[in-house]
């Protein structure tokens, strides 16, 4: 009988240094995401507002299928943190062109990563969305990552939940970490990897609003459907 082995984050990181990179989208050697697979991020798709309410505008770079799905899953669930740089670069490239998105009065883009459950982040070696935000910030002329959201205890894994169940799962459980956020009145952009029902970004926007922050746009790598 064969058994699968899940390497801890440190073990996966060591293997990444030893083994040559292969594209997580197609398996080609040479890079974490080859040029052909990176082309999946060249579009910006407006997300139907019915899923999010009237505000804020939301955009995704690809549908959650095919190459885009494989890249997101490799980064999120399979320890391919070498994908943070190319995926973050794709987010950064799209950001200045999003209608509604804007930096603060000093020209600084404030990027707020959607939070993960603490147990999931531990298993993945840290917050995968924060890693994307950090990589995106490095590609912008002036940007700051404001990892000022956290999930309270009791939030379940959202896999398999419908929109109503996801909303109930998050209701009142997205909390602020004020010391990690910019001053009230600062425009921010909310980042995530997959937009499914919109429950997560809606809960995050509502939490940020209690801190006086306006989410001018939501940007995700992929959108389900």
pLDDT tens by residue, 26-69: 999 989 999 999 999 988 888 855 455 556 789 999 999 999 99
User: What's the burial of 54, exposed, middle or buried (CB within 10 Å: 0-12/13-18/19+)?
Assistant: exposed
The pTM of the full predicted model, rounded to 2 decimals, is: 0.85
Q: Would you say residue 10 has pLDDT above 60?
A: no
In a domain, 54, yes or no: yes
Evaluate whether residue 1 is within a structural domain: no
Q: What is the mean pLDDT of residues 111-115?
A: 96
Q: What pLDDT, on a 0 to 100 scale, did the predictor assign at position 2?
A: 34
- In a domain, residue 150? The reply is yes
> Which residue spans within the chain are E strands per DSSP?
45-46, 58-63, 109-113, 143-145, 149-151, 174-176, 187-195, 214-223
pLDDT of residue 95: 94
Q: What is the pLDDT of residue 209?
A: 93
The residue range of the domain holding 135 is: 9-223
Report whether the peptide linkage leading into residue 56 is cis, meaning its omega lies within 30 degrees of zero: yes
Residues 6 or more apart in contact with residue 107 via CB below 8 angstroms: 141, 142
Joined tokens for residue 13: 């990181």
Across the range 164-189, mean pLDDT stands at: 88
* End-to-end alpha carbon distance in the chain: 37
Report percent pLDDT > 70 for the chain.
83
Residue 208: pLDDT over 90 = yes
Domain assignment of residue 211, yes or no = yes
In a domain? residue 104: yes
Question: Residue 165 has what pLDDT?
Answer: 79
The DSSP symbol for 29 reads B
Taking residues 71-96, what's their average pLDDT? Answer: 94
State phi, psi for 42 to the nearest 5 degrees.
-85, -5
Residue 4 domain-assigned (yes or no): no
- What is the count of structural domains for the chain? 1
Give a yes or no: residue 165 inside a domain: yes
In the predicted structure, residue 166 carries a pLDDT above the cut 60:
yes
Asked whether residue 2 is assigned to any structural domain, the reply reads no
CB-based contact 222:68 (threshold 8 Å)? yes
State what percent of residues in the chain have pLDDT above 90: 59
Contact between 98 and 190 (Cβ < 8 Å): no
Token readout for 109 is 């883009």
Tell me which long-range contacts 7-15 makes (C-beta under 8 A, separation of at least 24): 7/79, 8/125, 9/79, 9/123, 9/124, 9/125, 9/126, 10/125, 12/79, 12/81, 12/125, 13/79, 13/81, 13/125
Report the CATH number that the domain containing residue 156 is assigned in CATH.
3.40.50
State the average pLDDT over residues 117-144.
Answer: 87
Residue 65 CA to residue 6 CA, distance in Å, equals 24
Q: Is 125 helix (H, G, I), strand (E, B) or coil?
A: coil
């Amino acid at each position: 009988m064969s058994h699968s082995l899940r390497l801890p984050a440190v073990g996966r990181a060591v293997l990444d240094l030893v083994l040559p990179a292969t594209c997580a989208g197609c398996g080609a050697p040479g890079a974490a995401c080859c040029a052909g697979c990176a082309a999946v991020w060249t579009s910006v798709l407006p997300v139907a507002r019915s899923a999010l309410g009237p505000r804020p505008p939301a955009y995704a770079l690809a549908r959650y299928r095919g190459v885009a799905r494989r890249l997101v899953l490799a980064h999120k669930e399979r320890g391919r943190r070498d994908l943070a740089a190319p995926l973050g670069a794709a987010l950064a490239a799209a950001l200045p062109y999003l209608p509604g998105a804007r930096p603060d009065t000093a020209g600084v883009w404030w990027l707020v990563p959607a939070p993960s459950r603490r147990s999931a982040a531990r298993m993945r070696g840290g917050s995968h969305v924060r890693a994307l935000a950090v990589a995106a910030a490095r590609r912008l002329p002036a940007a700051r990552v404001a990892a000022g959201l956290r999930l309270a205890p009791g939030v379940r894994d959202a896999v398999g939940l419908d929109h109503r169940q996801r909303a109930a799962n998050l209701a009142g459980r997205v909390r602020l970490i004020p010391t990690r956020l910019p001053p009230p009145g600062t425009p921010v952009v909310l980042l995530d990897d997959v937009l499914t029902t919109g429950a997560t970004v809606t809960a995050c926007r509502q939490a940020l609003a209690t801190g006086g922050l306006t989410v001018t746009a939501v940007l995700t790598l992929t959108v389900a459907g």
